[in-house]
A and B are shown apart, each in its own frame.
Chain A
Amino acid sequence: MAHCERASKPLLQCLRSNYSRSLAGVQRHGFHSTAVAADEKAPAESTSEPFYKSPDPSLVSSPRLERQLMRGGVNPIGSRRRRAALQGSSNLPFEELPYQCFQEARKILQADREEKLADIQKMEVRIANVEATPTEQMGEQAKKSKLPAMRIHLDKLKILADINDPLVKRKFEDGQGKGFDVSSFHATGINICDFATGDMSKPIYQYLADQKWREYRRKILVQRITQMKVIPDVLAKCDPVVDTRLYFGKHQIQPGEFVTAKTTTVPPKLDVQLFERGEKLVTIAVVDPDVPNVETDNFDYRTHFLAVNVPVSATATKVDLSQLSADSQVVLPWLPPVAQKGSPYHRLSLFILEQDGSKPLDFTAVKASETDRDAIRLRTLQRQYQLKAIGAHLFRTLWDDTTQEVMEQLGFEGADMELRRKKVEPLPYKRRNPSSFR
């Protein structure tokens, strides 16, 4: 911090009436490396407007203003009591709290951060050098193996530079500064309170979100898809690296949840969170491996949805299956799953498959070849188009009160039939060793 700033701090404090402005001040000289521009924009707007026009989510305490905020898609931060207390406080920014040990600790962290920033610069220069050197000079193979390793190291350095910052941690926990537009997100009817992340375009927030996902939600997902045998039944293996959330309407579906037939008539919405840089083109498939087949006394597969060339990235995560374009993406449109009465539950497994090298597939060719829903096998598709499963989800359906109606709408054949267990013929009674019973 500059000396003049420190000297003028009490004066500034008197002038500051708004907490948000002081917070912005922290962000400006706080140790935050990448892309500060997005942060600086926000406080600049709220300079002269009265408070009730643009209430601050960290200060608002009246229920009316809170409701107004929430209608706009922003949730107030912390408890109302805390917000009310902050209104009258001296608004000392967190970085400047006068605790000796804390300040000493910050000094150590700052020094380390400076070091890391220097490393980042050095690394960037080195990468530029390697890129600039002609291929003949250092060999193509060496260049190919060297550059990705250097980039990975650079990403690691960027994460290390920010990982010790308490403000980064706080922002991540609060979910502030998200990269996407909050209002459009709200319009899709999805609640944002349930996941807290920072700006997902920065590597540090990607890293933190990934850690958080792996801590619990990924474990649950992997457990569900392996215990319910989706993994050997539909695909041989899947190592999820993207966080997938599935919504029917406004309701988020947990992996493996039973969903009624009526809710599944509309295509679901997906939230595919990538934890790395860049954009990926993915194929999305919904497969039901439990279609009963009485003739063969076995189960068949049915593909309920298939779309190719769907772009996802760390910031653009929303995929609405009904909004995908029919003439460049959707191969097989959504078919609502129904379970015949008496049949065992159907597992509707959703897979997100990365296309090889994120290159687009030839849509017309795929559309021409994959027409029969019952004949498609995801294993074959995977082999044919070099796909790699990077995400999965799962929900289940069973015959319920609404199924009959949905079946009639769809014109489902066998809606008037019911599956019953076959009668077990008992084995003939065989007397073992009759001579010994005499």
Chain B
Amino acid sequence: MRSLSPALASLANVFRIPMSLTPVRPAVSRVCHETLSRQSAPTTAAVQTAPFSSTSTLAKRKGGGPQVDKRITLIRYFLYHPLTPRPLRFSRNRFLRHWTIHRAWQLFQAQQRKKQELELQRQYQSMQAACEELRTGAGDGGKLFRVSMNKKGVFTDLFPIEYARFQTESPAAEGWNYEWKRPEKKY
């Protein structure tokens, strides 16, 4: 067997695709096919005779054939296979602890969201107040405000360079790194 690239190997591990050629549990498709072919006998025997019927003759007959749903067989096979990971079960206390932590985490996130929302609201309102001040308090009848609000020719030719970086709520602590030098290539 060829060795896999590490990326593929890790992905196969994540998706639980068996890496060996002889998997302990037979492949899903093989089991499915075997089950289907084994149980297809009654379905082939049940030929439709009545022309209008959507029910097979065997199912219609009283008592019917063995009513086994193949899908249930397959689900049960994979659910109770020893290789299937066990369901997650907690003891009472452990579950309560888990629940407490979960609730706290949700609460914490909700608080953070709320805080952020409030902060954005505050910023927006202060900007609005500033604009209002400009409109009424500048003493020029609001001309400055109108000019500043004029958006003509803003996005005409190119995309603004400001949008090339992530939009943050506040500017960076050091706005510009003046000491930056282009790193010299080493040959």
A-to-B contact residues, CB < 8 Å? 78, 94, 97, 99, 101-102, 104-106, 108-109, 112, 164, 166, 169-170
Contacts and interface: CB of A to CB of B under 8 A. Distances in A.
Given A106-B104, A108-B108, A109-B107, A169 B96 contact: yes
Nearest to A167: B96
Contact of A109 (B92, B96, B100): B100
A180 to B, nearest CB: 26
B33 to A, nearest CB: 39
A105 B105 contact: yes
Interface string B101-126: 10111011001000000000000000
Contacts of A112: 107, 111
B22 to A, nearest CB: 42
A112 B107 CA distance: 8
A108 B106 CA distance: 11
B93 A94 contact: yes
Contact of A97 (B93, B105, B111): B93
Given A112-B107, A164-B107, A106 B100 contact: yes
Contacts of B111: 112
Interface of B: 92-93, 96-97, 99-101, 103-105, 107-108, 111
Nearest to B102: A105
A166 B104 contact: no
Contact of A164 (B92, B93, B97, B104): B104
Given A112-B107, A164-B107, A105 B100 contact: yes
Contacts of A170: 92, 96
Nearest to A110: B104
A102 B107 contact: no
8 contacts: A78-B92, A102-B100, A104-B104, A105-B104, A105-B105, A164-B104, A166-B97, A169-B99
A166 B100 contact: yes
Contacts of A108: 104, 107-108
Contacts of A99: 97
B93 A102 contact: no
